[in-house]
Amino acid sequence: MKYQIIGDNLPVVICELQGGEAMITERGSMSWMSPNMQMETNTGGGLGKALGRMFAGEAMFQNRYTAQGGHGMIAFASSFPGSIRAFNITSGRDIIAQKSAFLASEQGVELSVHFQRKLGAGFFGGEGFIMQRLSGSGIAFLEIDGSAVDYDLAPGQSMIIDTGYLAAMDATCSIEVQSVPGIKNALFGGEGLFNTRVTGPGHIVLQTMPIHNVAGIISQFIPSKG
C-alpha cells in the first residue's frame, strides 16, 4: 500500500492498493474510491470487540474495502480541520489514541478498547477513562485536531498536558492525573482543576485544537431557546 496525505488543514489521505490489498475504516470515512474497490461490513473480530470499539467512541461495525482485479484507489478525509498522521503499528509498538481518532488502516491493524489503569485519569484527565488501542501490524491513520506536535519522552521524563491536548502516545507511556496547585489557581486560573501527566518512555503526539474546546467557544455564540 502506498499513500499520500494532502490538503493542509483540511486533509485527506489517498491510498493506492495492489490487487487483493484491503483497508478498514469506521464511521463512513470513505470519501472517494475507484470502481473496483469492494466494500464488506463486519464486526471486525466478533461481537465482543465490536462492543469494545463502541465504548471507545467508534462504531460497532467496520467497513473493509478490497481492491478487486488489480490496482485500486481509496481516499479518507478528516472529519474536522486538523491533521492526518500515519502510524506504523508493529508487534512491538502499540499506539494509544484519543476516542474517535481512528480514521482508517491496513487490514492487519486491530482496534480495541484501552482502559486507563487509574480511575482518576479517566474521570478528571480529559483524555477519557476509555481510549483506543491500535495493535497488530500495518499502517494506521489517525485524525489530529488542529496541528500535531511531537515529543519523545525518556524513561521517567514527564509532560504536563491540559485537558484534551493529548492525541496519541506509545503504549509504553503512562498517564496519571495531578491537581492544579493552589485553590486560587484552580478556581480562577481558567485551566480547570486537573492536568494530565504523561510519563515516558515513549513518543507522544499533542494536538493544538481539541474539538471540545472549539465546541465550547462556538456554544457561547449560539442563542439559547426560551
DSSP output for 29-63:
-EEEE-TTEEEEEE-SS-HHHHHHHHHTTS-SSEE
Question: Residue 66 pairs with which residues in a beta bridge?
Answer: 22, 38
Q: Distance (Å, rounded) from C-alpha 53 to C-alpha 29?
A: 16
Residues 125-168: tens digit of each pLDDT = 444 457 889 999 999 999 999 999 999 999 999 999 987 899 99
CB 33 within 8 Å of CB 75: yes
> In which residue are the cell numbers 488501542 written?
133
Domain boundaries, the chain: 2-219
- By DSSP bridging, strand 12-17 and strand 2-6 are antiparallel
The residue with greater pLDDT, 50 or 3, is 3
Residues 57-90: tens digit of each pLDDT = 556 678 999 999 999 999 999 988 999 999 999 9
Q: Which CATH architecture is the domain 2-219 placed in?
A: 4-Layer Sandwich (3.60)
Give the pTM.
Answer: 0.82
Q: Please give the backbone phi and psi of residue 193, each rounded to the nearest 5 degrees, phi first.
A: -90, -20
Range ranked top by mean pLDDT from 1-10, 45-54, 190-199: 1-10
> What residues have CB less than 8 Å from 52, skipping those under 6 apart?
112, 113
Residues 26-38: tens digit of each pLDDT = 767 899 999 999 9
Choose the weakest-confidence range: 3-17, 52-66, 201-215: 52-66
Q: Tell me how far CA of residue 67 lies from CA of 74, 81, 147, in angstroms.
A: 9, 29, 32
